[in-house]
Structure 1
Amino acid sequence: MAMARVHAKRSRHHGLLVVVVLSAILLLPVAAATAAAVAVAEGEGDNRSSLGATGNEEGKMVSGAEPGGGGLVVEDEFAGGFGSLDSMLQWAIGNSDPEKLKENAADVQKLSTDELLKRRMEIKELMEKLKMPSDADLMKIAIADLNNSSISLEDRQRALQELLVLVEPIDNANDLDKVGGLVAVIKDLNNENEEIRTTSAWVLGKASQNNAFVQNQILGYGALARLVKMGYATSTEEVAKALYAISALIRDNVNGQDAFCSEDGNAMLQYILVSNNIDIRLQKKAVFLVTDLADFQLNSGKSGLPFLSDRLFLKSLVAMLSRFDLDLQEKVLLAIKSLLKLPSTDAADFESCNLDSVLYRLGVQLEELASEEQKEYAGEVDDLRREVQMLFQSKLREGTRTAL
């Protein structure tokens, strides 16, 4: 039944695609439509395979918003495989007969204003009769599939991928809970299939990104606890999307950050930081989240994340400077810089982590880089290292004066 609905949906959307392309051509100014047609007819745009590929490639992948996020989402064909109306129009022109286009262009030029208006009205009426589905309709179809316990894993994954695209506009994200979408997606965080869990976390992250309204809705359903547990998964992709969703949920959200602490999210972060067998990309994401949380505390003047000044946690962070990866070292230095600026952070705790000697060794290491390609970047990282060292020494002196 689910497959039948999916196939029916595809057929309807492909039929609509034709109408949309016709509408685009007829609703364009005559001069623009004529110029496009003539250009293709004369060979300027007659690259049918590349135009067709452009549309497909635009609709093939949607990457995670978070930096360095892996994974792909292959869009379903509800958009006809095209990323935009413009790509639909290009495909239609590129796959048309050049001579026929030239004839049609000549015919268009002969149309009067009234005749052109009539054509536009005919297309408009046809589109209304076909009842092109709204985003809300498409979300309801996808959610109905998720609520169907007998649906195949392939169709369930396809429904989640459709939601991933649909929730990007903030209005759609705000409506997701109204149509039962959040409950259905959160439920799939517990699915036995790793790919389903991963995409579900991705959808939640995408819907809640920079959206306090949806953040609070998801937090209200208690999804954060499950996302934190996913941070211990053995799959790099699952952990990456869990971190992405967590970051989106608690960014600039005090309630979310409190919930993160209550669910021992700091233990999950420390586990990622200290584990030698963890993909370094995940460690970079974890460090980035630490910086984000520290910057929020600094800019908002709020305090409520005691783990940011925990000596064991700081030691785990400082130890990462010994790992030879310039990008990781830069991210760790930025995190330490933000943490040193927090009033709640004691420089003595960093001193107990041997921060000064670690920074010195890092400086020597950066100077000894042999590759010319790395030297410029290494110089930038070294400048940041010096800045952190000065900030650390300044805060250490300030602490000593206060103690006296």
Structure 2
Amino acid sequence: METSHHHEMPLVDRLRNETQAHHASVEALPCFQALVARALPPEGHRALHQALALLHQALTRAFADTSHPTLAALGAEAPSSHPLLEHGLVSGAPEDRLENHALIGALALGERMRSAAHREPLSLLGYHYALRLALFPLPGTTPWSGFAQRLEGLALEAAQEEGVLRAAVELFSEVRSLLDALHPPREHAPAWWLNRDAGGHPITTDLDELRAALRAAEASWEEFPYYAWRYGEHGRRFSWSDSAWLVTLGGQDEARVWKHISWLGGLLAGRGMPRLMLERHLLVLSRELVHAKPVRRQAYGVLGQVAERMAGERRRVIDDQELRMFGEDFDARVGLEWSQRLRGAGELLAAAVADECWGLAQAVPSLASWMKEPARFPSPWIHAVEETLLRARSLCRVRFPSGVAGRE
């Protein structure tokens, strides 16, 4: 009985209730208290200003990208200037390099808002609520009233409401990490801001390159729903940090880049991600980079070349047309509902077999064990997986009679 009552609560009240604890933990931080007391050192103040400017800028762009009337109306409202954060907030965004690594987190959240605008547009309501209404409310104002009125006219499904709440909580926790690191100042490796588990590997800190890397990662997640389904939030952050590391290989000679990327491809294939996924990611990444910084076209070209070389290996076992056929055949076997739930599964299975033919022994087991889990998939799906692997493997024997398949 309790849950149905829970959902009868107006969304604006749910937002307030479910972000209350997050709000309190932000307000308890030394950085927030120093800000209110106007005692935040200039460099911390400047970094906070820049981070919020990046977030406002990204949210404004995300609103501009959507055609939803309520969202478009909200996006057109200019955020009022805040006494604690001085004027010109949106113009305070950095232009090229990030002088403070804490801004990397704000940048990642900004790109995520923009990809959310495509995937679940109404989640922008949650970001808007947290960033513009809840986090730094203007003294003596009640920003809720206008927002509550806008929400009243919206009939949201349960999943959409959850998306709005998730977005608000996400923004709170990202801003909390940011404030926590700004004052007293804490040093973290740049990659930490994308992925706490990434270790200290290098990533680009160039603003345009970083945005391109994040956009490419988000595009990969949109192309392969398998990523989100299997690896969740934790995996997404690895995609961000890996993508930002790949950018640093631009401009090195091809043999060296191939060595690095082959190593990564083998590692990921052994964890259930066929090299096809990396191949496609590299193509999108080099395109995004060239688009962001055309002057470095030549340097970024090496990523595209390596992707082509990887594709060349795969095509010697299963060419593009065969790959597509495996995909279509698999979809026909599992039926419309399941083929839409997990787009591209047939292609991934065939691609894993191609990796196996090139000597990556774990490529198939690491993918197939997950794809054949009866608790997750119905039996027609599991039969389709087995049939696809069988047929793809028969191609491998045809192509490599000389035992290349066993090579290390």
TM-score > 0.5 by shorter chain: no
User: Highest Rg: 1 or 2?
Assistant: 1
TM-score (norm: length of structure 1): 0.31
Compare relative contact order (CA 8 Å, sep 6+) and give the higher one, 1 or 2: 2
